[in-house]
Chains A and B, each alone.
Chain A
Amino acid sequence: MIDVNTAGEVWVFAEQHEGKIADTPLELMSKGRELADKLGVKLAAVLLGDDVSPLAARLGHLGADKVYLAEHELLEHYQTNTYAKVIDGLIRRHKPQIVLYGATPCGRDLAPRIASSIKAGLTADCTDLQIGNHEVKKTGKVYENLLFQIRPAFGGNIIATIINYDRWPQMATVRDGVMPMPEPDTSRKAEVVKETVHLAAADLPLEILGQHMQARKVNLKASRVIVAGGAGVGSKDNFRLIYDLAHCLGAAPGATRAAVDLGFIDRDHQVGQTGTTVRPSLYIAVGISGAIQHQAGMSESKKIIAINNDPDAPIFDVAHYKIVGDLNEVAPMMIKSIKEKV
């Protein structure tokens, strides 16, 4: 069990495969930086692998003050036991106050194993992280500068803010696509801390016989926010607006069949009866009339924003926020508003 250490660092597990850092931990660097600055502590990336030191520089550019580097031939491919053993040791040695992992298939396999061995809490699948205070009602005791771990649960029907005040580190897995990727600053340099690794073949209880990874395709079903464009967007060029709005929200771009048929975007993005059925937390329908076949694929979304210049468009029947107006004006206003607030 690890005690509360308010001087501890903020850590991000820099998951890498085949010498390439995964997107989610890279996105986490911006949030990690923000948290570390608020707490007045260092942001460190934890990098494991075999011969991965060249990746440390990039982590520095993206905001890390430090990179804990653990290299060993048995760390070449991700395996639960070896990775958990090494990170468990690092946490016990350096006592960080916060440890963040991408909620990737690998992060969700690894983080709970570590949480169990160090007997710490772990919040799953966060969509936001903040620093705040918590008062324990019974005793009136106030814990300051805790990590608020904000996550949907109950099939996405509630949003819970989870904290851990008496047993640390505060650990969370964080969803992909909910935090913006930081802009690299090539003048920043991280201090590289080389860690010695003690592993033996017995630490590898699995043998990987084969692996087939899919190229990253749009995964509408797994997206928390979808920005979908319809025929009303007008042209393939103008579809840029949909990508831009999606990008600043960490959202996936979607489309109607009409937009796909007009060649604005690939068929993988089609939502509806003959496309994908989605139920994201937020669905933004831009220039979409709301045909029944389209609604069949999106009406279960938790929140729907519709932008259409026809006040009688059927999409407004299922929308929670109705914006009657020209999408060419409204979409840029939304982008501006989101960029200034986030």
Chain B
Amino acid sequence: MGYNCVVLVKQVPDTKRITGQAMNDDGTVNRGALAAIFNPEDLNALELALEIRDEFGGKVTVMTMGLPAASDVLREALYRGADEAILITDRRCAASDTLATSYILSCAVKKLDYDIVLCGRQAIDGDTAQVGPQLAEKLGITQVTYVEEIQKLNGDGLVARRNMGNGRQEVKTTLPVLLTVVDTANEPRVAAAKRLMKYKDAMSPVEIAIAGGDDSSARQKALAEKGLLIKQWDLDDLDADLAWCGRDGSPTKVHRIMSVVLGGKESKSVEATQAGIDAMVHELIEEHTIG
């Protein structure tokens, strides 16, 4: 018995620690100035999957779609206890909105044998919380959002407690199911020293290629023999229909982006007159600080 869990994880810029330097003058994000981290609620999703495996057996597979550097979050997941890691990387994934992202992820999840798919509730950069429900729809399975605890798991049945922020709810459903996990679910375990020693050398083929060297296929083979080669898929491996991927597959487009972070100690004195206040209110409306 046991349950196969697939955890979707995202590498994100640390938007909680944004300073003036993190934004370019034109309002775009200076990604270089921001640390890339494991999306916080994805750690809660991973922890929940690890707890299921530890109690019932089965396997935890972590998967991310991202740049080659996103291999970092996969290694981090291996340190913490994941059994297998898969990187989906392909230039043609660029500019995917949540619909295209969930389509690509669904093609990948369908290649796996799964009982429970786990996502974080929300990523701290795109901030949409849409990928989980959209992925569930594409897989044709039930979604349970805002999961805080799995209260019961037996056979193909599951009882979960949801924390929606304005209340809690207990629901019962059957597997397969997709859960989105909130940050109150658990305290994620830290990397285990032994696993860190083992997996610190794990690499994805694209990282090996970037690192260069004479014979990357020999390198891949050597890592694979030690169980340290991170599995990697591109859109061809997924048999994805390109019409639903990347920019072309994304109905939403960005018309304009504005930064709201003020550089340094920028401040203004406003006259305590109707004209002074009108000007300030006008400015705040223009920049959408108020509606």
Contacts and interface: CB of A to CB of B under 8 A. Distances in A.
Q: Which of A112, A205, A212, A222 gathers the greatest number of chain B CB atoms within 10 Å?
A: A112
Interface in A176-206: 178-179, 205-206
B284 A282 contact: yes
Contact of A325 (B251, B267, B272): B272
A162 B143 contact: no
Instruction: Kindly state the interface size class of chain A when it binds its partner.
Output: 35 or more
B129 A124 contact: yes
Contacts of A116: 99, 102, 133-134, 137-138
Contact of B269 (A119, A161, A303, A322): A322
Contacts of A305: 270, 280
Interface in B101-146: 102, 124-134, 136-138, 142-146
Nearest to B274: A333
B255 interface: yes
Contact of B251 (A117, A156, A167, A319): A167
Contacts of B154: none
Given A116-B102, A121-B252, A208 B272 contact: no
Nearest to B256: A161
A12 interface: no
A214 B169 CA distance: 11
Contacts of B258: 158-160
Q: Name the prevailing secondary structure of the A interface residues.
A: mixed
A321 B137 CA distance: 46
Contacts of A104: 166
A310 interface: no
Interface in A287-342: 302-303, 305, 319-326, 329-330, 333-334, 336-338, 341-342
A211 interface: yes
A164 B253 contact: yes
Interface in B203-249: 244
Interface of A: 80-81, 84, 104-106, 108-113, 115-117, 119-125, 127-128, 132, 134, 148-150, 152-167, 178-179, 205-214, 216, 222, 225, 249-250, 281-282, 302-303, 305, 319-326, 329-330, 333-334, 336-338, 341-342
Interface of B: 13, 15-16, 18, 22-23, 27, 29, 97-99, 102, 124-134, 136-138, 142-146, 159, 164-174, 244, 250-262, 266-274, 276-278, 280-282, 284-285, 287-291
